[in-house]
Amino acid sequence: MRLEGITLLDATEEAEQLARELIASRAIPPNAVVDAAHIAIAVTNRVHYLVTWNFRHIANAAMRSRIERVCRSEGYEPPVICTPNELMEASHED
């Protein structure tokens, strides 16, 4: 399904399982279920970049390394997690 040229990502059982593991392993706090789902859906749909302003649970140096570790331990390559500003800086380097 597309929304004006935007592909909608599937929220699969695989994504739900990864979200549960992100919380169980304390990569994401238990009160941030929606953030865990956001990450897991991006990961299981093989998104290359996860762009967010969520500094509390996603785009924060301490959380990023934990998230990446859990994703890899579950057999996934994590996306690059960054803010819109970081993504724009990277695109101007070319």
Task: Tell me what percent of the residues of the chain surpass a pLDDT of 90.
Answer: 64
CB contact at 8 A, 74 and 63? no
- Under the banding of pLDDT at 50, 70 and 90, the label for residue 3 is low
CB contact at 8 A, 28 and 36? yes
Domain count of the fold of the chain: 1
| CA separation for the pair 37, 68 (Å, rounded) | 15
State yes or no: pLDDT of 22 exceeds 90: yes
| CA separation for the pair 22, 29 (Å, rounded) | 8
Query: How is residue 46 written in tokens?
Result: 């093989």
State yes or no: pLDDT of 94 exceeds 60: no
Who's near 11: CB < 8 A, 6+ residues apart? Answer: 37, 41
Q: Is residue 56 part of a domain?
A: yes
Q: Is residue 26 part of a domain?
A: yes
pLDDT, average across residues 28-56: 94
- Mean predicted lDDT score pLDDT of the chain: 89
pTM of the model: 0.85
Q: Is residue 5 part of a domain?
A: no
Q: Is residue 37 part of a domain?
A: yes
